[in-house]
Amino acid sequence: MERIDTDICVIGAGSGGLSVAAGAVQMGARVVLVEGDHMGGDCLNTGCVPSKALIACAGVAETVRGAAEYGVRAGAAEVDFAAVMARVRAVIGTIAPVDSQERFEGLGCRVLRGWARFSGPREVVVGEVTVRARRFVIATGSRAVVPDIPGLGSVPYMTNETVFSQGARPAHLLVLGGGPIGIEMAQAHRRLGSEVTVIEAGRCLGREDPAAAEIVLERLRAEGVAFATGAGAVRVRDAGPGVEVVLADGRIVTGSHLLVAVGRKPALERLDLVAGGVEFGAAGVTVGAGLRSVSNRRVYVVGDAAGQGQFTHLAAYHAGIVVRQAVLGLPARLRSDHIPRVTFSEPELAQVGPIEEEARKAHGDGLQVLRADFAHNDRAVTAGQTEGFVKLLVVKGRVVGATIVGAGAGEVLAALALAVSARIKVSALAGVVLPYPTFAEAVKRAAGSYYTPTLFGPRIRAWVRFVQRLP
C-alpha cells in the first residue's frame, strides 16, 4: 500500500474543497485532493449549473410565448426537450475544465480518485493509498433526502441528482417539496411543456418572506402550475404508466413522473468519522466558530458537511475561513448574518439577512421597514416586469436585512449583500448615484424613504418658509 505524507488532505472536490485546495497549494502547502465521484461536485454536475441552464432554456421558451405583448410575432414555442438537455450537458462541459483533475494536478495537487475513510485521527485510506496529513478538510457536500414514505421505494422517482439525465419530457411532473429546488424545477418544466403539480405539506417557499413568496407562487399559478398544499404525502403507489401520491387529507395526485425535492443531508456515511475521532450529528460535523471539529483539532469542515447551510457561495466563504487558519495560521471566525440566497424562479426571490418576521423578533420596535415597488421603477415598466418589490430592514440607521422579489433580484441584491456584510448605513444607499433607468434604483428609492418623515415633516416645512422669506 502506498503512503503519502502531506500538509493538507481535502476530501471532496466540490466548490468548497476545490477552493481550499487551489488556495492552499498556490500558497505553498502540500495538498492531496480526494474525490470519489465527479470533479466539481454537486454544483457543477447535478445542482447550480445544470439547473440554471435548464431554467435559461425554459425562460427562452416563455419569452417566445409572450413575444406578442411586445409587438413581436414569433409563433408558437416548440420545445425540443432532448436538445434542451443536450444544451444542459454542454454547459456543464464548458465549465468542467476549471474543476478538472488535470487543472488541479497542474496547480500541484496530488489528486486521488476514490472514496476516503478515516483509519485514525491523522490518516485516511483511499483505495490502496494511505494519506497521513497535518490537517484534513471535509468537503463532501450533501445528497438528496429520500423521505420514508410507504411505497416510494417501489416506484421510479427522480431527485436533483437524476432529473437532468432525462431523455424525454415528462407529461405530468409531480414535484414533492415546495422549497427553492422544487419551485425552480416546477416552473422550468412547466415552461418546457409539462403539466406540473407541486406537493407541499406546509407553505411553499416557507423560509421566505410570505409576501415575496406569494408573488412568485402567483406567477407559477398563472403559468399553469398546480399546487397541492397543506397536507403531506403518506403513500406513493404505482399507477400503471405513472405514479399516485396519496396525501394525509385523502387527496390523490396522479402524474407521469415524480421528482423528490424535500431537502438534502450531509454526505458523511463513507468517511468512518468514528475512526477519525470526529464528532457529528444529523446536521453535519460538529464544528466551532472557525469550522474546526470540536473533537479532532486536525479536521476542518466546509460547505454542506458543516451543517451551516447549503449554498455553493457559502462553501466558498467557508473555504476562505479555513485557508486563513489551516494554511496561514491566522485567526478567523464564521459569520452567518450576511449570507445571501436566491430562488431562481421568475420573478427571482433574493434574500440577505433575516426576513421581516425574524428581524422583528430580534429588534422589536427598533426595526424600520422600507419598501419600494417595482411598479414605480421606470426600468421595470419599460421592460414589462413590474412584479415585486425591494424591502430593506433597518436598525439604528444600518441595513440588517433585505428582501427583493422581481426581475433580476439576485443581481440587484449584490449591493444589499455588501451593505449587510459591511454594516453600511442606509444613508450611503440613499446617496449613491445610479444609472437611469435600472432595476437597482428601487434600492435607492427604498433607502431614500428612510428620510421621508424628516424631509417632509413640519420642522423642515417651517424652515423652508423661513428661508424663502429671506431677501
CA–CA gap between residue 11 and residue 34 (Å, rounded): 5
| Sign, CA torsion 389/394/397/399 | negative
Closest by Cα among 193, 192, 194, 157 to 177:
157
Q: Is 177 marked as binding a ligand? A: yes
Q: Is 441 marked as binding a ligand? A: no
Distance (Å) of CA 405 to CA 36, 68, 229, 388: 39, 25, 22, 5
Closest by Cα among 156, 153, 203, 209 to 183:
203
Distance (Å) of CA 246 to CA 171, 243, 256, 462: 19, 10, 15, 67
Q: Is 200 marked as binding a ligand? A: yes
Q: Is 307 marked as binding a ligand? A: no
What angle, 0 to 180 degrees and rounded to 10, lies between the N-to-C axes of helices 312-322 and 15-26?
A: 30
Amino acid residing at 159: T
Closest by Cα among 31, 29, 37 to 12:
37
CA–CA gap between residue 52 and residue 184 (Å, rounded): 9
Distance (Å) of CA 286 to CA 120, 159, 321, 335: 18, 27, 16, 16
Q: Is 184 marked as binding a ligand? A: yes
**H/E element, 30:** none
Q: Is 179 marked as binding a ligand? A: yes
Q: What angle do CA 271, 31, 130 make, to 5 degrees?
A: 45
Q: Is 141 marked as binding a ligand? A: yes
Which region holds residue 298: left if phi is over 0, alpha if psi is between -120 and 50, else beta?
A: alpha
Q: Where are the beta strands (DSSP E) in 267-361?
A: 280-281, 284-285, 299-301, 340-343, 348-352
Q: Is 339 marked as binding a ligand? A: no
Closest by Cα among 343, 75, 61, 344 to 192:
61
Q: Is 178 marked as binding a ligand? A: yes
Q: Is 14 marked as binding a ligand? A: no
CA atoms within 13 A on the CB side of 153: 4
Q: H helices then E strands: how many in the chain?
A: 15, 23
Residues annotated in a binding site: 52, 140-142, 177-184, 200, 263, 304
Residues annotated in a binding site for FAD: 52, 140-142, 304
Residues annotated in a binding site for NAD(+): 177-184, 200, 263
